[in-house]
Amino acid sequence: MLWWIVAAVSAFFVKGLCGFANTLVFTTILSFGNSNLDISPCELILGYPTNLILAWKERKSIRWRVCIPLAVLVIAGSIPGALFLKNADTSVIKTIFGVVIILIGFEMLLREHQTKKMKQSKIMLGIIGILSGLLCGLYGVGALLGAYVSRVTDGSRSFKANICVVFLVENTFRIILYGLWGMITLDTVKQAMVLVPLMLAGLVLGMLSARFLNEKAVKKSVIMMLILSGTALVVNNL
């Protein structure tokens, strides 16, 4: 239970600070000793209210023409991702997740050095939307989505507002999907409820820290830890 507590506080501190990457942190910490089939539904329940809180807080910065098309595409990709999570071998899922963490980590690291905003591309929107949906359905990971949204929004407040709206729509759909397929159980809900106070503490601490900490320095630290954790996860499951 100790690692679940550490994961909840750490993941939602990052969520409050950066607006995303909570699932990467939560799943990476727990993947060494738990099945993704247990981790993803629990994190989904915990993450849902955080997206609602952040989206409401930054509601004036929401750009519906950015988040609505992405939300639709992400939902489309969530179905095959959830199917794979339900039926695939655990070691295969963890190995793939490790590789995904490493690739996303390097992409995030490169993005930190880019300042030019990207023009919206319908082709890129479609590719990233579907791939993000697959990753969300399988692991709940929206870092790839974050890579795109960061390029088409201005500033951290706009980024948090729009990505949290997409996550909120996707989370609603995935909760229904997981529930219908029996992937969210009573034990899952109980586990999540125990962690809710810790999630809220981490989120509030992250939101308050965003006023004082160097956001870029924190992001880079998180990224480097993710890359190292992803590498260890791949090695352990080969």
The confidence score (pLDDT) of residue 136 equals 65
Six-digit token string for 118: 């990207």
Q: Could you tell me which of 206, 110, 109, 184 has the C-alpha nearest to residue 140?
A: 184
The confidence score (pLDDT) of residue 17 equals 82
DSSP state of 238: -
Contact status, residue 31 vs residue 92, Cβ threshold 8 Å:
no
Residue bearing tokens 């738990």: 34
Residue type at 201 in one-letter notation: A
pLDDT of 180 strictly over 80 = yes
The confidence score (pLDDT) of residue 129 equals 63
Q: Could you tell me which of 44, 17, 7, 22 has the C-alpha nearest to residue 181?
A: 44
CA distance 238 to 235: 5
* Residues 87-99 pLDDT 10s: 777 677 667 767 7
Six-digit token string for 228: 């190292």
Q: Could you tell me which of 184, 142, 177, 156 has the C-alpha nearest to residue 39?
A: 184
The confidence score (pLDDT) of residue 99 equals 78
The confidence score (pLDDT) of residue 139 equals 63
Q: 86 or 6: which carries more pLDDT confidence?
A: 6
The confidence score (pLDDT) of residue 84 equals 74
* Residues 191-235 pLDDT 10s: 999 999 999 999 999 888 877 777 677 667 666 766 776 676 677
The Cβ of residue 109 has, within 10 Å, a number of other Cβ atoms equal to 15
Model confidence at 120, pLDDT cuts 50, 70, 90, reads: low
Contact status, residue 208 vs residue 7, Cβ threshold 8 Å:
no
pLDDT (average), residues 51-62: 90
Model confidence at 132, pLDDT cuts 50, 70, 90, reads: low
The confidence score (pLDDT) of residue 193 equals 95
The confidence score (pLDDT) of residue 116 equals 57
Residue 232, classified by CB atoms within 10 Å of its CB into exposed (0-12), middle (13-18) or buried (19+), is middle
Total length of the chain: 238
Q: What's CA 118's distance to the chain center, in Å?
A: 22
Q: Which of 14-28, 96-110, 212-226 has the highest mean pLDDT?
A: 14-28
Collapsing DSSP to helix, strand or coil, 181 comes out as coil
Claim: this prediction has a pTM higher than 0.85: no
Contact status, residue 71 vs residue 166, Cβ threshold 8 Å:
yes
The confidence score (pLDDT) of residue 198 equals 95
Contact status, residue 29 vs residue 178, Cβ threshold 8 Å:
no
Of 41-55, 80-94, 151-165, the range with the lowest mean pLDDT is 80-94
pLDDT of 110 strictly over 80 = no
